[in-house]
Structure 1
Amino acid sequence: IHSPLADVIREELILVEPDYSSKNEVLDGLADLLTKGGYVKDGFLLDIYKREIMGPTLIEGKYAIPHGNPENVIKPAIAIAILKDPIDWWEKNAVDLVFMLAVNEESKEMVLELYDLFKNPDFIAKLRNSKTPADVKGIMLELLL
């Protein structure tokens, strides 16, 4: 089965229990992975910060999906951080799962697939128990099919 989401899940963009203690560290770290990997242009991180000022990019108040403007995306990708402990994201919302979306106009199906995964309670539970980037990728691919 071809899945647009499966095409953008890459182990080098997945961090399990990184040493981040603030929202800004998460945003900077994930954007850096995307920039160094050639997925986004330098302006992407600034986009992310501008977007976050406008309001929270949260699903159910528990998972963060920061994203920048499509014009700064070279090729679609998702950078993922699975945090050891939740960090304050917006007002009283703390998150431990962050999915930084580098998406463009062609990415609609990929985003819809990701939203479907969030609706699956197994997905969140399994992600929180994953120990390596390979685990995370495996869980996502397994639940997509």
Structure 2
Amino acid sequence: MSKVTFFGLMMIGYFLLMFYSIDIGNTIITANDNDDAVEIATRTAVSQSINRGHLRVHEEMTLDPEVTEATFLRSYAKNVGHNDVNTMREVEIYDVSSNPPMLAVDVTTGTNGLTKNYLTNWDAYLDDQKNYTNERHIVIYEAKSTTEPPQGGVTE
């Protein structure tokens, strides 16, 4: 093998490694941004949708489900920092419970992968050329008992 051929193969390997490292970096940035945005949005949505009138009268925390969903979507859109043209986000709100106050969400984020585009057939699987990350977050506020259980194995 000549030196030119060896150099050409080394350059191809270098470019593939470079594309792969860019893909991994982009996926990691998207996953971290998604994690932070979902955590901030769920906590904001639950804290802003507490039914304060019910809390004052009955001393019990409940949520307004419509306000919770709207606040979550608004806060998530505001907190996402990595807005790439090739990024697809799918937000799914699984459950909003009023008593106990709970919000369960799942956000799937997909980014286009350069390495997959170069290593696969150009015509096949063009819709499935994304690197996906999932973030699930559940926030539950529940009351803790103010009375302490008996100590030392003694029951009343």
Shared fold, TM over 0.5: no
The TM-score normalised by the length of structure 2 is: 0.29
Higher RCO (CA < 8 A, seq sep 6+): 1
The TM-score normalised by the length of structure 1 is: 0.31
